[in-house]
Structure 1
């Protein structure tokens, strides 16, 4: 291909360091970003590699992510434009389309590049169809047969536009409903080169749809088998490194959860619950480190709910909020939006300031609407003082709401599948509360299914060390598993 020849003088680095299948008009081997859960750079995989991973659970991180994240979707890989690969890709694609246009505008036209494009499109279609759809594949192969197209070109009868229409009709019959509009717009493009560029863009989207359909279809099987797969990997690890490796942070985490607990079941409930407010000066448990970011995200999700409940509680000190349900609900929505970006401590102060301004403004608008006196300066000062105290976890209102959330989480973990009603002060955030606790229970259930037996061994070992005469048979892992059984299959 002429466009490829233009890149032969690129530095040797492009061959050794860049893995690219997109040095043509099409990204015939479209690649997807596979997120990493261990801090290493994300991996880039092809459609075939994704299929292999889903079939054989070759990638534990991918299986773990799919099992725990119902919203998980693959994303297309695009090299950064300022990277060497990005610049090469842009240059190659531009050269291809320029050459195609130049050849078609010759008198008589040259169809070498057009034939190459149609051949690449034909090679792409198997990625958009199931292997069982042999009739469609046979029709595509027969119509886009390179020898037939070349004969038409030699006879001067090749109608490039008719092939575009054939491909568009195929895409219309195959695409997901979400792509109908994009396919329909292809018919409105007059320039045949631009039409084919649009076709390739839609096909790239459909490849992404197919890859994510494969993920969705495999989800139940992965969820059913990934726990056992991870347990086997962990058991193998323990056998290979028996007596030579320990998990001090995990042991410390479990030891700190013992306070006030009478048995292993209570300790494990308490330990998992404490992950929502994990001490910054303590090392995160080694065995849960693959989910550290996930637990931290849920921790901040929990803190945002506590903060919102505390803010609404303060705002209800004004009758126009406490006595007007519609006002309270609307203010709750606005506050929830304001705090959504808070994911670390240094973002909290500005969010609380913004929340105070929103509360003050909203209350005054409600008062003005009902032709009531606006907030006095002393009332505003009082509300502002109470709101600003929320920066501290030890503030009375925030502590109250945190205790209520703590009780809610404790009951939710112990309940057999059913989510308890929202605690007082959280009713206006019920949807987010349910989504939060469902995600937390799913994460706890999964990790307990993988590591629960080992956690109990550690707890019994700690008990034996502290109380040599105590009965070490206090294994409550099965009870906890039963309570969480309804969420063990994400």
Structure 2
């Protein structure tokens, strides 16, 4: 922990943001020469024979191996979070009010401080608990210093010499109030600027009850430990960003070595993308021969892009996320929620402007009011108990009220009851999956995100027609999603390459693969 001239600044919390680590392209995946590939045939209707990447046969794991795999997974998750989330930091422990753990902890702490107060109130005072307390404080102070000998460490060891303190206690000559003042002064020299107010309060409390003072000292020491950890995380982030791809890939390989099934969900995820592409492709035009009526195999980039796009509409309650995306599960969930809410907002606005038409066209202030109002009413649409039909009825009522106000102010007739009923019905109908406005918006949003994934030069602000009202929101979500995709591709590209080669080429070929086939696209840089 730096001293006076090296005091760390405080960290602040914030929403998760995507990593700004630049991606390696899918070319970071292993080349076809790395492994021998057999081939797997796909039928003309797009189905395929089941297959999984080659791996060693299942084996029983020892407890040590299980624990080591758990440590690898923990290190992988922590490293990834520090790298991709610039606002990641630790917060002091906070147990829920009225929880059993909080009650147990509070009772234990109260018992300790009650014993300390009872001993110090004895005549003559007993210092058994107080000496243990001072010893803990000394170790906490030493843990906050940089490793190696320095003047501050030497001074702490001299002032808080436990052998000398025990001798003073035995002779009833222990100046515990003076030791508390020294501890607070030392803490002030070691703490980050954000704790200066806390240290000032401690200095002002030295005349208070000594037990209360020591309780506050321990509370502030705990905060200083968190500050030190967050300061180290900030410094570590710079190093991790340089080596995070190799480190995460190595840690995941360690997990895969111990548990060969650690890519099962990832394989199913990529296989679903292959089958989706095959089912939508045209059969070959050969009239005879072994390739007659079969479909051209998709290229690896096409497969990966389709798989990545499916994450935006992932149904978490129906199937688990691919293992290679588990460290980003919360980010993927939040992106999906925000995207769905943004799409609903755009659908409502499209219905309003297509139904009412000319009298409200070109009014940016009205458009902004309608957008803000609808966003507020649709907020939390993914929370349990949210009633979308009821919310959309409320949206419709507020929109009709706002439209009537705007129309009458500009000498237009208010919306007729029949038109208001039509508008309300159309807005409420977007809850139906086959609603044409909903289908249109969802298709164009998918088109927008696919363009961002496929083309590194695609601009975030260039949105398809009909999505102009949500362009700022789409740009924000697009930037975060592309950042996650590029980083994920850089780390797990070799694993994806092996899975794709196994899926496409595990039995005799049935069609000539396209030019960007796996053996060309997976060559490393």
Matches of 1:318 and 1:179 in 2, distance apart? 59
CA RMSD of aligned residues (A): 4.3
Larger mean Cα displacement after TM superposition, 438-447 or 314-323? 314-323
Gap runs ≥5 in structure 1: 1-52, 486-490
Tell me, yes or no, if structure 1 residue 191 matches structure 2 residue 208: yes
Deviation at 1:308, TM superposition (A): 2.2
- Higher RCO (C-alpha under 8 Å, 6+ residues apart): 2
Matches of 2:161 and 2:486 in 1, distance apart? 53
Q: Deviations over 1:338-381 (max 9, x none)?
A: 44423369636154345445545655677799999876544543
The 5-angstrom pairing of residues 176-325 of structure 1 reads 176-189=192-205, 191-192=208-209, 193-232=211-250, 235=253, 249-258=268-277, 259=280, 263-278=299-314, 283-284=319-320, 286-288=322-324, 290=326, 291-316=328-353, 317=356, 323-325=362-364
Larger mean Cα displacement after TM superposition, 235-244 or 199-208? 235-244
Larger Rg: 2
Matches of 1:199 and 1:244 in 2, distance apart? 47
- The alpha-carbon distance between structure 1 residues 69 and 337, as it changes in their structure 2 partners (threshold 3 A), is farther
Equivalent of 1:400 in 433, 436, 440: 440
- The alpha-carbon distance between structure 1 residues 373 and 325, as it changes in their structure 2 partners (threshold 3 A), is same
DSSP-derived class of the 2:386 partner: helix
Alignment correspondent of 1:416: 456
Matches of 2:94 and 2:306 in 1, distance apart? 44
Deviation at 1:75, TM superposition (A): 4.3
- The alpha-carbon distance between structure 1 residues 262 and 223, as it changes in their structure 2 partners (threshold 3 A), is same
Equivalent of 1:112 in 128, 131, 140: 128
Equivalent of 1:71 in 78, 87, 96: 87
Matches of 1:342 and 1:133 in 2, distance apart? 57
Gap runs ≥5 in structure 2: 1-70, 282-296
Tell me, yes or no, if structure 1 residue 381 matches structure 2 residue 381: no
Deviation at 1:303, TM superposition (A): 0.9
Q: Deviations over 1:427-463 (max 9, x none)?
A: 6656654442233223222332233334344434444
8 Å Cα contact 2:274-2:298 kept in structure 1: no
DSSP-derived class of the 1:197 partner: helix
The 5-angstrom pairing of residues 93-132 of structure 1 reads 93-131=109-147
Larger mean Cα displacement after TM superposition, 85-94 or 358-367? 358-367
Matches of 2:150 and 2:461 in 1, distance apart? 52
Count the aligned residue pairs: 429
Matches of 1:201 and 1:183 in 2, distance apart? 11
Equivalent of 1:436 in 460, 477, 480: 477
